[in-house]
Amino acid sequence: MLLNLFMAQKDVGNKIPIYKLKTTDEVMKYYDEWGIKNKYDQDMIDWDYTGPKETVATFIKYAKDKNIKILDAGCGTGLVGIELKKHNYLSIDGMDLSKKLLDLIPQGYYQNLDQVDLNKPIKVKNNTYDAIMCVGTFTFGHVKPHALDEFVRISKKKSLICFTINEGIYEEYGFDKKIEELKKNKSWDVKEFFKSDYIASKDVNAWLCLAEVIK
């Protein structure tokens, strides 16, 4: 049954200023300015942004091996990496569009950090990662559904891909269709799919999905 049969759409496009942005250049400029004096992290605290904690809590139910190689795609200031390290996952790479946010990541959480536009092909070999986390990146004006194809490509068989999708763009951007497509062509098996709190203080929720790569 199609996942979107269960979706009640809610207009969240005006909840947060960055949701109004349309282009990659606009997004990068906004994040670079947002990172000044660490305002980004302070806003995440003030908004009670629970996306990283919720997503990692779902991930650890399935990822029992602490030594797996994880990619945090759209890592921002490292909020997901900080949560992962609390659970003793230590082999983590990070990628983000904003160099300014990457520079704010504390030392000791990531092995490699790279400035990457996830809307473009990722310069990583096939079957590289045991898991991919992507939290807060599939949202207005940010990364589009075709990135999920790249995530599958660079993941090993039986890898886990765990990600959030802002509820406001789930159907508009075609994430509903892409998730079903990857199921139908046996690229992955969806293990978890539910609405997370995400940024409940702003009345913004996200769909949280965890899938196991089949290949």
pLDDT in tens, 66-83: 999 999 999 999 999 999
CB 172 within 8 Å of CB 186: no
Fold of 12-213: Rossmann fold (3.40.50)
In this prediction, residue 124 carries a pLDDT of 98
In this prediction, residue 142 carries a pLDDT of 82
| Mean of the per-residue pLDDT values of the chain | 86
In this prediction, residue 10 carries a pLDDT of 44
- Per domain, the residue ranges of the chain are 12-213
Is pLDDT of 57 > 80? yes
Q: pLDDT tens digits, residue range 144-199?
A: 999 999 999 999 999 999 999 999 899 999 999 999 999 999 999 999 999 998 87
In this prediction the pTM is 0.82
The highest-confidence range among 13-27, 32-46, 169-183, by mean pLDDT, is 169-183
Is pLDDT of 30 > 80? no
In this prediction, residue 214 carries a pLDDT of 97
In this prediction, residue 4 carries a pLDDT of 39
Backbone angles phi, psi at 187, to 5 degrees: -80, -30
In this prediction, residue 44 carries a pLDDT of 57
